[in-house]
Amino acid sequence: MNTRPALPSRLPNVGTTIFTVMSRLANEHGALNLAQGFPDFAPPAALLERLTFHLHAGANQYPPMAGVAPLRAAIADKLQRLYGARYDSESEITVTAGATQAIFTAIAACVRPGDEVIVFAPVYDSYIPAVTLAGGRVRVVALAPPQFRPDWGAVAAAINARTRMIIVNTPHNPTGAVWMGADMAELARLTRATDIVLLGDEVYEHIIFSGRHESLARWPELRERSFVVSSFGKTYHITGWKVAYCAAPAGLSAEFRKVHQFNVFTVHHPSQLALADFMTSDPGFADGLAEFYRAKRDFFRRQMEGSRFELLPCDGTYFQMARYDHISDLPDVEFARWLTIEKGVAVIPVSAFMPDGTDHRLIRFCFAKNEATLAAAAERLRAV
């Protein structure tokens, strides 16, 4: 076997993500896939019509680096309408190839070797590899079950002179926990006299069942040090389009764009124009998303009545966590494999979100599915 070139991995601890692993297992065993977070229903027809229109109308060459002007204007209007936040669409909003790219770009733009980044665990899987590649180190602050609320004493203890960034994900994947006004006030207090920047992963901003979404954009003091990221994938049932955005004050956006232009340079042109048209013609679609997913959450929870799974509270996102310790004492990864192979329902083991592998014996269901899928899955789960 050819052993050249020898390539010491820059990410020696990273394998294939659990989402890919569980989806593959679901396909192999014909299981219902409540694992990976994507809808099994269609995007709005009017959005698809607009995409087709712009493909045929000639939007097939490079759009501007930061995104097409009408989409950036629609995003700025939305941020103003929902959060009272004024962003200049020219200099403060950048359209990205999914939230994942926005998160990676913000980290690459800010984090230098030796810097520290605070993340909360359970933690979305892309954050830590991005920090590692930038030469930074993460400090992990644990969110304790069953509420998964931030412990501000622990955050204060994790902050030091090397802290460059804090990554905030609300509503939170996988726990469905939602930060409150008091949390934002604490965040403001702890960062006030520092140069810490904040990265808000707000891809589930519209999917919230209790209280209001506390966007970093809503809080003027936080906004001025924040990259605020959201994803059209989650809002318009188009996770495969990979279009998202990052809003940040001009100075931060300028640094963000320096990386963005050499990373992707620009994002799929007809999708951007279609999204701009759809956002302007139907702003109510996103406003109705919370009710749409509340109905799905409640449907799934009702269908699960009588099962031996213990469902945890879910205040936002389209994920429902469950304890299974009345059913099995297997570790969660083994339990998730067993459930997929033997019982025909694929789920995500929550330890996959734990950097140290802590196993709270929790699994995550995705309820962004048709009622027929949810009912069929719940029928299998009730029999476990």
Ligand X SMILES: Cc1ncc(COP(=O)(O)O)c(C=O)c1O
124 binds ligand X (CB under 6 A): yes
Going from the C-alpha of 274 to that of each of 46, 70, 237, the distances in angstroms are 9, 10, 14
Nearer to ligand X, 105 or 253 (CB): 105
- Structure tokens that stand for 15 in this block: 């394998």
CA nearest 93: which of 83, 82, 108, 78? 78
Structure tokens at 200: 């808000």
Min separation Cβ 382 and ligand X, Å: 27
- The binder of ligand X chosen from 98, 122, 150, 200 (CB under 6 A): 98
The correct pick among 99, 158, 190, 333 for binding ligand X (CB under 6 A) is 99
- Interface stretch with ligand X, choices 69-77, 97-105, 278-286, 337-345 (CB under 6 A): 97-105
Helix (H) or strand (E) holding 28: helix 18-29
Q: Interface residues for ligand X in 31-70 (CB under 6 A)?
A: 37
Provide the 8-state DSSP code for 149. Answer: B
* Binding span for ligand X by CB under 6 A among 3-11, 239-247, 271-279, 344-352: 239-247
Size of site (CB under 6 A) for ligand X: 14
> CB atoms < 10 A from the CB of 146, how many?
14
- Over the window 159 to 198, marking each residue x when it contacts ligand X by CB under 6 A and - when it does not, the resulting string is ----------x---x-------------------------
Residues pairing with 137 in the sheet? 116
Which of these, 322, 317, 353, lies nearest to 339 by C-alpha position?
Answer: 322
Distance CA 206, CA 291 (A): 10
Find the part of the chain contacting ligand X (CB under 6 A) among 7-15, 98-106, 159-167, 250-258: 98-106
First to last CA, the chain: 47
Among 231, 235, 303, 340, binds ligand X (CB under 6 A): 231
Binding stretches for ligand X (CB under 6 A) = 37, 98-100, 124, 169, 173, 201, 203, 231, 233, 239, 242, 244
